[in-house]
Structure 1
Amino acid sequence: MDALLLIKAAIMGVVEGLTEFLPISSTGHLILAGQLLGLHDERAKVFDIAIQTGAIFAVILVYAERLRTVLRGLPSQPEAQRFALNVGIGFLPAVVLGLLLGKAIKAHLFTPTVVASSFIVGGLIILWAERRQQAVVRVDSVDAMGPLDALKVGLVQCLAMVPGTSRSGATIIGGMLLGLSRKAATEFSFFLAIPTLIGAGLYSLYKERALLAWADLPMFAVGLLFSFLSAWVCVRWLLRYVASHSFTPFAWYRIAFGLVVLATAQAGWIDWSG
């Protein structure tokens, strides 16, 4: 396989891994990187979704001990059963709405105006959420969440179906507005990403399998590897960051990126149609 293509796959993997768990929208950044690198055909779109799985492996590694404890405790421990139930409840809205609305969203919302608006509005919401008077934290850890908390965060996650919104941004900021502590919202966002992104990746590979060939395997393997490595660094850093920092810098970054989307679309430099 062309070495240049593998280098491009590695760059896309790094972009995915660094942006998937930050509240800045990995989709928007992958569209931009793909356009700049010339990876924007239908096969490349499948690649973008598939390499999310690499980022999820990073979360699984960081939380390996916690996940092993949950799996061992599922048959008999109420805490483990409640944790698994909450993740399942949070995952369910994305499955239902994704199957019902996925095609319509792809057809009508992947436009420069929608992508830019999502970036800018999301940034303004983060600024508002960080500057508002701190609400009473009802839930200080993932283990203290109830099924209704999980459902609410799962519904908020569905906002990320709008391109440019950011899945992690929706779940983390949404969770905080719903009464979760910053740490609990961040960790539940990570756990919720495991079934959500693995499911999306497998579904996309199955649905678009006719576009793929065995010759694509090295490209996908490189993308997955670099997505995993960069996400592993990002997740570990983000867990330390949220302990003592706000998400305000990401809000300003989103607003600036939204303006970039508008400018590049107006100039005809980037095709933001996904």
Structure 2
Amino acid sequence: MSHSFTEIDIKPLGDSALIVQLGEGITPSIHQKVRALSTILEAQPFKGFIESVPAFHNITVYYDPVAVQQNQSKYGERTDRLLTSFEAVCQEINKLLEQVDERKEAEARLIEIPVLYGGEYGPDLEAVAAFHHVSAEEVIQIHTQNECLVYMIGFAPGFPFMGGMDERIATPRRENPRLAIAPGSVGIAGKQTGVYPLETPGGWQIIGRTPLELFRPDSFPPTLLQAGDRVRFVSMSSEEYKAYKERKR
């Protein structure tokens, strides 16, 4: 069973969650709606709401079905039967969706991420350059040219999935993923770019590394980047990289 609000679909995910589909594709306009609904849910939580998890073009909403049923009288008009928890939460979501288009987008943060490109820290830089028949220097120039939008945090704590990278350097993932990629590694996968916050396996094309820590468990929030942030990559020298690392010790 699915419910719609204009072009938006709401579908169940098990018995204690649902997915609000706000469109298709990876676009800033759809992402703005995702951010708006997520913010509204946090500010106006319904009875039984647990949390929401925003993604590229949808939001997963987790709820306590028992709490929702106990609050049944607050949902819609009285009928001969009680609404299911899913139906009741759908009504609440539909009410909140009416505010999405009216909500003004908050000014996005712009965060600069310094990157040491190539060499041992960017082992796939030359492969990316060869794939596009350009020089490694041109790949760096293109990668630092645009501001990228953080669409979501996922895969690993603090890992930002970013769109807006120039398609001239869009490159498929590696055929053979690496078993371990160092923290701070900057990669390309298709039209996206991202930064590995922790050492994990991965198949992205690694073109450089940043000395910044993206996952900071002792801080609040524990991640440097948040969905909605804009990122500008800045090329740094090996000397600057080493100096930054020395300062952090």
- TM-score for the superposition, normalised by structure 1: 0.23
- TM-score for the superposition, normalised by structure 2: 0.25
**Which has the greater radius of gyration?**
2
Asked which structure has the greater RCO (Cα within 8 Å, sep 6+), the reply is 1
Larger proportion of helix: 1
